[in-house]
Amino acid sequence: MEALNKKKKSLNGSRILLLGVSYKKNIDDIREAPSLKLIEILQSKGAVVDYNDPYISKLPPTRKYKFDMKSVEFSKEKLNECDLVILSTNHDDYNYDFTYKHSKLIIDTRNAFKLKGIINGKLHKA
């Protein structure tokens, strides 16, 4: 919310792309994945949330969550249309330079962009 507010944008109605929903990088396990709680919180505040995960093509129902969501394409167009990109799982499949170049605003929950030498501008650490 704070990163969007700095851009004079409300969370309510914002288009958000979550990169990675699995519990940890390069796996297909969503058990106890914090991304699921994050989706719930964002949707409850009125955000329009999509996700991309190369390991999770569709979110299966869990004991706590019943999202009817499929992974969207990771593309320049998708990144451009979103108000905010949140890196939740730092899969090796993601091109961080490409993501930075084509995103308006990024929240990095894994410090992955900094590890790739990307540290300025539209990047915020969670």
pLDDT in tens, 56-104: 999 999 999 999 999 999 999 999 999 999 999 999 999 999 999 999 9
What pLDDT score was predicted for residue 109? 95
In this structure, what CATH number is given to the domain that contains residue 34? 3.40.50.720
Tally of domains within the chain: 1
Which residue range forms the structural domain that includes residue 85? 2-125
State yes or no: pLDDT of 32 exceeds 90.
no
Cβ 54 vs Cβ 93: under 8 Å: yes
Could you give the percent of the chain with pLDDT greater than 70? 100
